[in-house]
Amino acid sequence: MNILKKLFPPKQTPIETTLTITSKNGFHLRPIAEFANKTKAFQSTITIIGKNQEVSATQVPKILALALEKDESFILKCIGNDAQQANEYLTNFFEQLMHDDLEVKMVEQEADHYEAKALHGTTIAKGIAIGTVIEYFKTVKHSSEAPCTFDEALNLTAQDLDQLYKENQTNQEAQIFLAQKALLDSDLFQKHFDQIDEEIQKLKGTPFESRIADYQDLQKRIHSHMGINSEFKLPADVDTIIIANELLPSEVEELSKLSRIKGVILRQGSSTSHAAILLRAFKIPTLICHEKIIASGEYYSSILDTISGQFINLPTQSDFEKAKQKAHQFKTEQKTSYTKRFEPTITKDGKSINVFANITDINSAKKAKEQGADGVGLLRTEFLFTEIKPTLEQQTQAYQSILELFDDVTIRTLDIGGDKSLPYIHIEKEDNPFLGIRGIRFSLQEQTLFREQLLAVGLASANIPNKKIKIMFPMVSTPEEFTQAKNITLEVAKEHNLSVENIQFGIMLEVPSVIFALPEFDALVDFYSIGTNDLTQYLFAIERTHPTLSIDPVSPILLTALKQIMTTAKKPISICGELAGIESVTQTLIEMGYTTLSVSANLIPSLKERIRHV
């Protein structure tokens, strides 16, 4: 019988789950690459079924070719010994990807008028450029040196992308290089260019046609290692505005190093393309203009005003004066906010405001420090746990390295459940995971992880004496949950002879029940931090990733709730949700009495300067 089982193993039943694209950006390269990478952690055979096709969930090009848009669905199919675990983890991970994949909002243009005729377009990156319009044309050159083989060029390209990712790890553009690396690692790029060209053809005419540039960019990188290079020549000593059909990500990198390139006009493309992300990162004034623009070949200056979304080919003298003054003002404002990022943030009426950072690890902590963060308002510790379970020593070192950078750090304990999961922890599938075992409820059930995390925080604190640390428990809904969590912390400290003298205890205020029990919580907690994202979700009973329902992030109802919290609570309160970074709400929050706002690191310089004018 055992021999028969080995020869004819029982057929395994596939586990299938239907998943829906809720991101307005669709299921595009960056989240696909992250999703494909996670599937490799499981032994089961994992596929995606969509649009009458079944493709491997590890093959980025095949998933990308499905061109799955918002509101479309696919079936996640898992077959194997760990199929159940794979299905549950990947389902939760996909939902988290959709939640985190924020829509790239159109850059708001400011109305303005020039004397000469202007062509209008879509702003990609703001700024003012004055220069000669030059057509972006590259000539191909073959190296005389012995070129690399295709396989050697693949390996070198992979190394290039790894290096670019490491160099830009704290920036948004790092995800581009990680996604391109995942594309490069697929079966498609292990063959040759003919099949890559076929894949490009499949993307033409789809909503993800802009991703063709990533295939072409990888081809270009591989070619360069094989001795085939393209070269763009600038005219000598002339400030230029480049006009091109579109640009590859690597070409944007090259252009960013040329100081005489003042701006870019694209005839096609989108604000979500990887080239667009890099153009914004490098702060190169860029406009997508579908109107006919031809470089004349004559060396006269034109104006590119992407603040108002205009290109003026033949400006008047008055137009030049206006553009120069506008450029000076724009640069001054940018420079002022950045150079003053370390200065105290004080409103016009003398109120001091703390601007903290939301971070995930030491790299994002370093970026926050460089951007002028006054402290850490939210350390999302679950990012330390995503791939494999960290050791006690790894956790302790991670917390300690961040504590060494800042005098004020709020460490949020594991916020698992809902749309977040761990590959090595089994969480029973729930019909309503956002209303189930998540946050502090998970930690109180899974105390092994919780106690080890608390011990790591305690050890880090002991290694840096006399520094205040805040431990924050997520998704607390009753005073009893907070008391139980704090008592566990005290038990851990006592067991290991650790002092809690420099540790404060607080909660993430994101469950509406807390609002009605603030007097009871005031008697227990040292501080509150309002997570406006989840608070909004629970106030309106609308899941943040819902495909058709949405919530106004600045709803008067939410603002009324925030005002009630500030009026009622007696302990210090901060805000660390997305709301804190919305320009139109800053003054309202300060007028309510909020004096600590915690946002993404890249928003800190401009938010500080904005507050100084409140």
Residues 540 and 424 in one domain: yes
Three-state SS at 233: coil
- Weakly modelled stretches of the chain, pLDDT under 70: 1-11, 105, 144, 146, 167-172, 191-193, 207-208, 296-297, 387, 417-427, 430-431, 433, 544-548
Residues 410 and 498 in one domain: yes
CA 599 – CA 614 distance, rounded (Å):
18
- 28, 223, 225, 576: which is the annotated catalytic residue? 576
Residues 76 and 25 in one domain: yes
Residue 110 lies in a domain: no
Residue 396 lies in a domain: yes
Residues 442 and 531 in one domain: yes
CA-based max dimension of the chain = 94
Name the H helices within 551-603.
556-568, 586-592
pLDDT for res 33: 87
CA 5 – CA 190 distance, rounded (Å):
36
Interstrand relation of 376-380 and 138-142 (parallel, antiparallel or unpaired):
unpaired
Residue 186 lies in a domain: yes
Write the CATH number for 597: 3.20.20.60
Residues 335 and 378 in one domain: no
CA 310 – CA 308 distance, rounded (Å):
6
Residues 331 and 480 in one domain: no
Residues 204 and 324 in one domain: no
DSSP 382: G
DSSP string, 173-211: THHHHHHHHHHHTSGGGGS-HHHHHHHHHHHTTSTTGGG
Residues 96 and 126 in one domain: no
pLDDT for res 197: 78
**Residue 194 structural domain:** 140-231
pTM above 0.85, yes or no: no
Percentage of residues of the chain with pLDDT beyond 90: 44
- 28, 223, 225, 274: which is the annotated catalytic residue? 274
Q: Of 317, 339, 361, which marks where a domain is finished?
A: 339
Residue 529 lies in a domain: yes
Distance of alpha carbon 356 from the chain centroid: 18
CA 411 – CA 394 distance, rounded (Å):
16
Residue 108 lies in a domain: no
Residue 107 lies in a domain: no
CA 537 – CA 532 distance, rounded (Å):
8
Residues 157 and 263 in one domain: no
CA 218 – CA 479 distance, rounded (Å):
55
Integer angstrom CA distances of residue 408 from 112, 212, 355, 571: 44, 45, 11, 17
Q: Of 339, 371, 400, which marks where a domain is finished?
A: 339
CA 255 – CA 248 distance, rounded (Å):
11
CA 207 – CA 27 distance, rounded (Å):
10
pLDDT for res 424: 64
Q: Which two tokens stand for residue 118?
A: 């202007």
| Number of independent structural domains in the chain | 4
Residues 215 and 272 in one domain: no
Q: Of 316, 339, 362, which marks where a domain is finished?
A: 339
pLDDT for res 107: 76
Place of tokens 């200056």: 301
Q: Is 148 a catalytic residue?
A: no
Residue 353 lies in a domain: yes
Distance of alpha carbon 498 from the chain centroid: 36
Residue 173 lies in a domain: yes
pLDDT for res 237: 82
Q: What is the pLDDT of residues 183-216, one digit of tens each?
A: 888 877 776 667 777 778 877 777 667 778 888 8
Q: What share of the chain is helix, strand, coil (3-state, %, to 5)?
A: 45, 20, 40
Residues 270 and 299 in one domain: yes
Q: Is 290 a catalytic residue?
A: no
Answer yes or no: are the C-beta atoms of 14 and 53 closer than 8 Å.
Answer: no
pLDDT for res 229: 83
Interstrand relation of 310-312 and 302-305 (parallel, antiparallel or unpaired):
antiparallel
Write the CATH number for 34: 3.30.1340.10
Residues 515 and 368 in one domain: yes
Name the H helices within 258-391.
274-281, 317-339, 362-370
Distance of alpha carbon 111 from the chain centroid: 30
CA 347 – CA 609 distance, rounded (Å):
9
Write the CATH number for 251: 3.50.30.10
